[in-house]
Amino acid sequence: MSLRKKNVELGEEKKDLFVKVVELKSRNEELDDNHTKLIEENAKLVGQVDAMKEELTVEKAENATLKDKLESTLKKMQFIVINTILHAKAKLIGEFKRSEHSNWDLD
């Protein structure tokens, strides 16, 4: 009877193991599905990152162009300001040399 009892116990252990194997297979399928979804989501995100990198590259090029235009405009403005100051100084020096400075309002 002892053998029969052990056989019954082994049969129950077998059933428990079978149930666990079925549960593990189910969980494995679930994990496989999740893994597949994660791979798809990752590919989607990588695509978005690549698109953003391309946009950033375009924006960097546009910004560099704008920066060059701004620097060129600033140089032109500086030239105009310096040229205006020099012209005004030359005019004032000319008036001073011709003694036309008496009517200057120094205030």
**Structural domain containing residue 29:** 2-103
Exposed, middle or buried: residue 16 (CB in 10 Å: 0-12, 13-18, 19+)?
exposed
Structural domain tally of the chain? 1
Name the band, by pLDDT with cuts 50, 70 and 90, for residue 67: very high
Name the band, by pLDDT with cuts 50, 70 and 90, for residue 7: low
Question: Does pLDDT of 53 surpass 60?
Answer: yes
- For the residues 89-104, what does the mean pLDDT come to? 87
- Closest CA relative to residue 9, chosen from 103, 104, 1: 1
